[in-house]
Chains A and B, each alone.
Chain A
Amino acid sequence: MTCNETRELLSALLDEALDTGERAQVETHLAGCAECRRELEGLRATTGILARVEKARAPVGFVDRVMTRVRPVPWYRRLGRALFLPLSIKLPLEAGAMVVIALLGVYLLQTTPELKDAARHDAPPASSPPAIERSVPSAPSPAPPAPARDREAEPKRQALVRQRPPASSEDDARRGARDEAQKNVGSPAPPPAQEPPKTEAPAARSQMSRSTEKRESGPERADEDKKGASSASPASPSVLSAKQQMGAPVVTGALTVTDRQRAEQSLAGLIRTTGAREIARREESGAVVVEVEVPQAEYAAFTRELAALGSLRLEGQPTEIPPLVRLNVRISE
């Protein structure tokens, strides 16, 4: 065995990894070769240094970190990763989708009237109270359902009746005159003549009472109510406009006469005798429009007398006559 062949096996000799034959040949060569023995000692010293190298130690917490990665990921984390990772791609996409959905919702809300109305009705009452509530802060809210509203309205109505001032002698005289007229036309007693407006609140309260009693009142109660309405001050235009908003029927009458001035005088007399009241009057081109409020009991007589003044055409007549009928009479020649 040559020196080169021997040196190739020196490492294996140190490790006792040679078979018996190889080992014998190497040992024979080494016995006669000082150079190869020096080589062997050098290798032995080198492996001795390597053997003294301290073992490396894994950093503290290594096992826990491995186990954290090994444990199955809970479903919610997997879902979160699937939804949001990679963040740089999915987050902008999802944010954009949300904006598109929101814009679509707003567009649908604005283009669909039903949705728009629903949104308006869903709004809290405090944010948009009805006009009548603004006029009469003490009046009950119209928002509650009908039975509850009736229960609330009844005591107030009674209190209102109790608080009314006793009828004056002038009122009595008017009532007498009205009774006379009633006999003439053969209709129930009309309410007393109107007085000029004094205050807003009592009138509004009476308007409210009327509206709540409309469903339940008989003739007697209606009459009492009419008295209350007349004894209290008439409603102001703002209150009336509120009532209009609440759906009071408005009848339009076109009266064509030969003498407009005379017809206006006759209408004023008719208003006085029937217990109706004039709300407003305005001039239009070649005509005058008189807005009146006629009690239910006097409505038939009122329109009959009106028709006698000239040619009358009525529009918007209600099928069921309400306690007070709003009539806009346009008198023209």
Chain B
Amino acid sequence: MREGDAADAPQFLERLQAGDARAFEELVAAHQHRVFGVALRMLGNAAEAEEIAQEAFLRAHRSLPEFRGDSRLSTWLYAIVSRLCLNRLASGDRKAVAHGEEILLRVADPRGGPEAGAERSELESALHRAIAELSEERRVVVILRDLEGLSYEEIASALSLELGTVRSRLHRARMDLKDKLERFLP
């Protein structure tokens, strides 16, 4: 069970939809890292990611009375933040983000040691660049699947896509990443 799944209990949903501020605070606390993580990987800038993540929760707060419970709350929040990110990227109304300004991705390496650390840092940079260079449509799919762990169905629901489109975009994204990370692969 992923973080925040307990928040989908019917009683909790009732409290949320009744305007219980405490319940909403619990929802934010449970999903803050996921929502922020998607925004960070999509936008590549922490300040902009926080702005979008806050906006996502504000929109969720406003839309809670209309939430019918067809999907999980987490999927619903992913959908909101993903659309906000895509809209932001499409608008072009963004501050220029210096390439490699922030370390966005940290890859765990069980081997350890100084040499492994240097190699890992190189891998992280390459991975960061590779993800940033993906098209926005592919990037959001690979983030939701490989970094956040959503199922194909959940991604299709969140992005309002056909299942086949999700499968296709994800495969293309992974092939792109494989090509760009080839020298790190065994």
Q: With A and B bound together, what is the CA distance between A50 and B178 in angstroms?
A: 11
In the complex, identify which listed stretch (A38-46, A131-139, A141-149, A184-192) lies at the interface while the others stay far away. A38-46
Question: Which residues of chain A are within 8 angstroms of B185 by Cβ–Cβ distance?
Answer: 42, 45-46
Residue A151 at the chain B interface, CB threshold 8 Å = no
List B residues at the A interface (Cβ < 8 Å). 21, 24-25, 28-29, 32-33, 35-37, 40-41, 46, 50, 53-54, 57-58, 61, 104-109, 123, 127, 142, 145-147, 151-152, 167-168, 170-171, 174-175, 177-178, 181-182, 184-186
Question: Which residues of chain B are within 8 angstroms of A47 by Cβ–Cβ distance?
Answer: 146, 174
Q: Is the CB of B33 within 8 A of A70?
A: no
Question: Which residues of chain A are within 8 angstroms of B32 by Cβ–Cβ distance?
Answer: 58, 62-63, 66
Q: Is the CB of A50 within 8 A of B41?
A: no
Question: Which residues of chain B are within 8 angstroms of A57 by Cβ–Cβ distance?
Answer: 33, 36-37
Q: Is the CB of A53 within 8 A of B147?
A: yes
The contact string, 1 if C-beta is below 8 Å from chain B, for chain A 52-94, is: 1111111100110111011100000000000000000000000
List A residues at the B interface (Cβ < 8 Å). 7-12, 15, 17, 41-43, 45-47, 49-59, 62-63, 65-67, 69-71
Question: Which residues of chain A are within 8 angstroms of B50 by Cβ–Cβ distance?
Answer: 58-59, 62, 65
Q: List 18 A-B contacts (CB under 8 A).
A: A8-B168, A10-B171, A15-B152, A17-B151, A41-B186, A42-B185, A43-B178, A46-B174, A49-B127, A50-B142, A50-B177, A54-B108, A55-B147, A58-B32, A62-B53, A65-B50, A69-B58, A70-B61
Known interface pairs A17-B167, A70-B21. Does A54 touch B107 (Cβ–Cβ under 8 Å)?
yes
Question: Which residues of chain B are within 8 angstroms of A51 by Cβ–Cβ distance?
Answer: 146
Q: With A and B bound together, what is the CA distance between A62 and B41 in angstroms?
A: 17
Residue of A nearest to B55 (CB): A69
Known interface pairs A53-B106, A66-B58, A67-B25. Does A59 touch B46 (Cβ–Cβ under 8 Å)?
yes
Question: Which residues of chain A are within 8 angstroms of B21 by Cβ–Cβ distance?
Answer: 67, 70-71
Q: What total count of A-B pairs have CB within 8 Å?
A: 109
A21 → chain B, closest Cβ, in Å?
A: 15
Residue of A nearest to B182 (CB): A42
B158 → chain A, closest Cβ, in Å?
A: 16
Q: With A and B bound together, what is the CA distance between A67 and B182 in angstroms?
A: 44
Q: Is the CB of A56 within 8 A of B146?
A: no
Residue of B nearest to A50 (CB): B146
Question: Which residues of chain A are within 8 angstroms of B178 by Cβ–Cβ distance?
Answer: 42-43, 45-46
Question: Which residues of chain A are within 8 angstroms of B152 by Cβ–Cβ distance?
Answer: 12, 15, 17
Question: Which residues of chain B are within 8 angstroms of A45 by Cβ–Cβ distance?
Answer: 178, 185-186
Residue of B nearest to A59 (CB): B50
Q: Is the CB of B174 within 8 A of A11?
A: yes
Q: With A and B bound together, what is the CA distance between A27 and B109 in angstroms?
A: 31
Q: A53-B107, A56-B41 are in contact. List 13 more A-B contacts (CB 8 A).
A: A15-B152, A42-B178, A49-B127, A52-B109, A54-B105, A55-B37, A56-B37, A57-B37, A58-B35, A62-B32, A67-B24, A67-B25, A70-B61
Q: With A and B bound together, what is the CA distance between A46 and B127 in angstroms?
A: 10
